[in-house]
Structure formats: C-alpha cells, structure tokens
C-alpha cells in the first residue's frame, strides 16, 4: 500500500484538519504501526514536527493515533490550528465543517485516555 497516495500529504494551502479527516476517511484507524514502522513512512505530512512524532514510541498504535499525536505535538494549542467555517450554502458543506470540528476536538482531547473515543463520529461537537 502506498501510504503517501492513500493518506494524502498536506499540500500548501490545505489545512491540517482537512488532511487528518482525509486520512480518517482512508482508513488510518485500521492500520496498526510500531514506532519503527512509523519512522519508515518518511515525510507523510511534509511537516517535520508531525513526521517525527509519528515515529515515536515502540508500542503498536493505529496510524490514526500516531497522526493525532503528531499534530498535537506540532501544534501545542487548539487555537494554533485554524479551522475556517467560511460561508457554506449547502448541507454537504455544513456537514463537512462539522466533521472538521470533530477531528479538531479528537486531536486536542486526552489522547492517552483509553476511555475516550478517537472516532470523530463519536465526539460531541457543537
């Protein structure tokens, strides 16, 4: 599996939350990786801080958890990650925006708490 194609890398102009959502949609939660395997992904995000954090730790974690941890380590505060609603005129765009907000909530939640879901569809978001 070519992860850089499946889990599209962050491109200039794309938002990290949109990238995370794309990774979720492409099954990042179903792929388990150990730290050494995470390091082998190379520059999947094209952000050194995120890529370095993805390869940390020896325990097996889903790619999704590694991506969330990487983003959270790179951007220390939720306010550092901008999530623009803009004007949306369709229900589809409104739903997409809510999905992006849910990913933001998951990213900056307590990732170490196994009781809390890391699934954006299970996060309370208003």
Question: 39-90, pLDDT tens digit by residue?
Answer: 667 677 777 677 777 777 767 788 898 889 888 888 888 877 776 667 788 9
Q: Which two tokens stand for residue 26?
A: 């492409």
Share of the chain above pLDDT 70, in %: 77
Q: How many CB atoms lie within 10 A of CB 115?
A: 5
11 compared with 104, residue with greater pLDDT: 104
Residue 105: give the domain boundaries.
3-122
100: pLDDT strictly greater than 80: yes
SS3 string, 19-61, reads HHHHHHHCCHHHCEECHHHHHCCCCCCCCHHHHHHHCCCCCCE
Q: CB of 70 within 8 A of CB of 61?
A: no
Q: How many domains does the chain have?
A: 1
The region, left, alpha or beta by phi > 0 then psi within -120 to 50, assigned to residue 86 is left
């Amino acid at each position: 599996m070519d992860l850089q194609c499946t889990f599209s890398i962050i491109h200039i102009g794309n938002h990290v939350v949109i990238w995370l959502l794309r990774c979720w949609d492409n099954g990042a939660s179903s792929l388990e990786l150990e730290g050494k395997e995470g390091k082998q992904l190379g520059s999947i995000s094209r952000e050194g801080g995120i890529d370095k954090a993805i390869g940390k730790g020896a325990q097996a974690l889903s790619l999704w958890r590694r991506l969330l941890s990487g983003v959270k380590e790179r951007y220390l505060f939720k306010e550092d990650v901008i999530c623009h609603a803009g004007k949306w005129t369709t229900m589809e765009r409104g739903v997409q925006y809510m999905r992006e907000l849910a990913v933001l909530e998951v990213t900056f939640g307590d990732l170490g708490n196994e009781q809390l879901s890391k699934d954006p569809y299970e996060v309370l978001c208003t």
